[in-house]
Amino acid sequence: MFMYEYFLEKNQNLKHMKPLRLLALFIIPMGLIIAAVPQNKTKPYKLTADQLLGEANTRTQYIAPEAVADLIIKKDPSFRLIDVRSQDDFEKFSLPGAINIPVSDLLSDKYTDILNQDVKMNIFYSNGTITANEAWMVTRQLGYKNNFVLEGGLNYWFDAILNPKKPASTSPDEEFAKYDFRLSAGKALGGGLSVQTSQNQSTESSKPSIQAAPKKKKASGG
């Protein structure tokens, strides 16, 4: 206590000293605390188990193969296909333009920038949907956005897109439209021939479900 009085007396003539000393006294320990805290603590928000379950149940992460085929054909630059199978599988066959991130390597630092961003739409795919969903769950739980799963995986892709079955004659028009689209998409993706323009009106699956996952609009500066 005496030191404090002594200190005060000595500095009487300095203008604004008391508030400054008060400020310093308070802010230095605060600064030390915040410096000591590891960077991770101040990282962004992650999903809770409840939220993740909720999202998984509403299946917002799925993208229909027709939508993906459409994106590939239109050479849409806003998406990116990620093959989460092993490197061997990837090399045997992969979707056009896909990159390979084996799910075992998912959390490696070199992929963080690809998985945690808000510029492109990442679409995970595997043979079925189990592995792709694994990847989706892990990245979603970390709070990453813009990651999706190819519905049905490659197995369904082969069936539906590359070898579509002609619908029975009693099927609704929609089925024929879907069939037409798949046929032409399959041609384009399997061999790259002409693409019929009728596909644009035919797809009954509306735009890819990016709108379903709420895209938070950041404030812009000035």
Q: Please, which residue, 97 or 143, has the CB nearer to another protein?
A: 143
Q: Per CB under 8 A, which of residues 117..156 are in contact with another protein?
A: none
State the binding string over 162-201 for another protein (x if CB under 8 A, else -): ----------------------------------------
Q: Is 33 helix (H, G, I), strand (E, B) or coil?
A: helix
CB of 137 to another protein, least distance (A): 20
Whether the CB-CB separation of 157 and 128 falls below 8 Å is answered with: no
Q: Please, which residue, 39 or 194, has the CB nearer to another protein?
A: 39
Q: Per CB under 8 A, which of residues 1..40 are in contact with another protein?
A: 13-17, 19-20, 22-24, 27-28, 30-32, 34-39
> Among 146, 153, 152, which residue's Cα sits nearest to residue 85?
153
Q: Which residue has the tokens 């604004």?
A: 16
The residues, any chain, with a CB within 8 Å of residue 64's CB and separated by 6 or more, are: 151, 205, 208
C-alpha–C-alpha distance, residues 136 and 84, integer Å: 10
Q: Which residues bind another protein (CB under 8 A)?
A: 13-17, 19-20, 22-24, 27-28, 30-32, 34-39, 41-45, 214, 216-222
